[in-house]
Structures are given as structure tokens and as C-alpha cells.
Structure 1
Amino acid sequence: MRLDKFLKVSRLIKRRTVAKDVSEQGRVWINGRDAKPSSAVKEGDELAIQFGQKKVTVRVERLTESTRKEDAATMYTVLKEEPFGTSQE
């Protein structure tokens, strides 16, 4: 599944266009590497997303083409949340 679509379907980011913009700005990493909106996301991948001054790292648990709002959080597990800039990039 495309990165921008996963971010939208999982509701980590509310709109696909915003997900596309965020990844084009270099604020999303898959398994430690810069990710583009079209990058492939697989189960087990670790995504790091910079939201302003916060960096959230999640593990992809499952991929579905669509999901209900209540079930969206089951698509990923939050591994850590930290202020951006504290980890060694």
C-alpha cells in the first residue's frame, strides 16, 4: 500500500493530500529511510512521522483498503512519542 494512503486510512493524518505534503517535505521515514508518498508500506514496517515539534514512531500491524474510524487504531501500534530533535538522526 502507498504511504500516503496508509497514513490516511489509518487516520494518522486526516487527509491524503496532507499526508502527501508531509512526506514530500521529508517528515516521514520508513524503517529509518526517507519516504516518498508513493513508497510501499508493508506489515511490520516502522514509520516515524514528525508532527511539528513531536516525532511519533509506529509499527504497521495490518493493511486494509478502508476501515471504520473505530478500527483505524488497530492498523498500527505506537512505539514511542518524543520531542523532535532528541534522537540521533
Structure 2
Amino acid sequence: MRLDKFLKLSRVIKRRTVAKEIADQGRITINGNKAKSSSNVNVNDKLVISFGNKTLTIQVLNLMEIVKKDDADKMYKVINEAYARDFNAEL
């Protein structure tokens, strides 16, 4: 399954176009390798997604073509969720 489609179906990112933009900016890795929106995602892959001040690490558990909202979280498992520190707050 394409990376951008997986992120949209799993509801990690709400819109496929936004998922495509983030991937094409080089802010997503699959198993340590930079990924494009057209990269293939397989079960047990480890994705690291860099949002603005947050880095999300997930493991792919399941690939489904049709997903209900309640079942979206069954497609992945969150391994780590790290936030960047706000250095301006310390000044």
C-alpha cells in the first residue's frame, strides 16, 4: 500500500494531500530510509513521522483497503511520541 494512502486510511494524517506533502519533504522514514509518498508500506514496517514540534514513531500492524473510523487505530501501534522542547520558555 502506498505511504500516503496508509497515513490517510489509518487517520494518522487526515488528508492524503497533506500526507503526500509531508512525505515528499523528506519528513517520513520507513525502517530508517527516507520515504516518498509513493513508497510501499508493509506489515511490521517502522515509520518515523516528523511533524512541526512532534516526532511520531509507529509500527504498521495491518493493511486494510476499507477502514471504519473505529478500526483505524488497529492498523498501527504507537511506539514513541516525542515533543521538541520549547527553548523560548526557558529564556
- TM-score of the aligned structures, taking structure 1 as reference length: 0.91
Q: CA separation of 1:68/1:28 partners in 2, compared to 1, >3 Å: closer, same or farther? A: same
Name the amino acid aligned to 2:42: K
Distance across 2 between alignment mates of 1:10 and 1:66 = 10
Could you say what the CA RMSD is over the residues aligned between the two structures, in angstroms? 1.2
Name the amino acid aligned to 1:18: V
Distance across 1 between alignment mates of 2:20 and 2:56 = 17
Matched residue count? 85
Identity among equivalent positions (%) equals: 54
CA deviation vs aligned residue, 1:20-58 (integer Å, no higher than 9, x gap): 000011111100110000000000000000111110000
Distance across 1 between alignment mates of 2:56 and 2:7 = 13
Q: Contact 1:50 / 1:84 at 8 angstroms: preserved in 2?
A: no
| Unaligned runs of at least 5 residues, structure 2 | 86-91
Q: Which structure has the bigger radius of gyration?
A: 2
For 1:28-67, list aligned pairs within 5 A: 28-67=28-67
SS in 1 for 2:66: coil
- TM-score of the aligned structures, taking structure 2 as reference length: 0.89
Name the amino acid aligned to 1:46: K
1:84 offset after TM fit, Å? 4.8
| Unaligned runs of at least 5 residues, structure 1 | none
